[in-house]
Structure 1
Amino acid sequence: MKPIRIVVLLLSLLPFTLIAHPGHGIGNGWSLTHYTGSLEHAWILVVAIVAISYWLVRSTKKSSS
């Protein structure tokens, strides 16, 4: 399976991990502080940043060689 298909598959599963959860005590439920301050959302943000960074580094290394 091509790597882009794997990424698209994983990204399509993200909405299932963002289902409402108890403990909406950090700010408004729709604010940036809620998504960055609660672990239920922050880990997804970290995983996404790491995956995108890895993909960008790999793609630039392939294009330069």
Structure 2
Amino acid sequence: MRYKDRVEMDLDIIERHLERCKDSVDAKNMADIAQQLMAIERNVDNIRNMIDLEDDE
């Protein structure tokens, strides 16, 4: 899988997590918000790592 495809996939995942956060805010579910934010952080880290790998090539 190309880096661009992987980044686009991670961005789609981040968008879904953000949508879930919005739903959780409406429901005042702070535990779910925390889980979604941790998942977003993982996806952002994945994107940063892929950028670093691509720069190393």
Give the TM-score, by structure 2 length.
0.60
Count of aligned positions = 50
Larger Rg: 1
Of Structure 1 and Structure 2, the greater helix share is in 2
The answer to which structure, 1 or 2, has the higher relative contact order (CA under 8 A, 6+ apart) is 2
Equivalent position of 2:41 in the other structure: 49
- SS of residue in 1 equivalent to 2:44: helix
Q: CA RMSD in A?
A: 2.4
| TM superposition outliers: structure 1 runs of 4+ over 3 Å | none
Percentage of identical aligned residues: 6
Give the TM-score, by structure 1 length.
0.55
Unaligned runs of 5+ in 1: 25-33
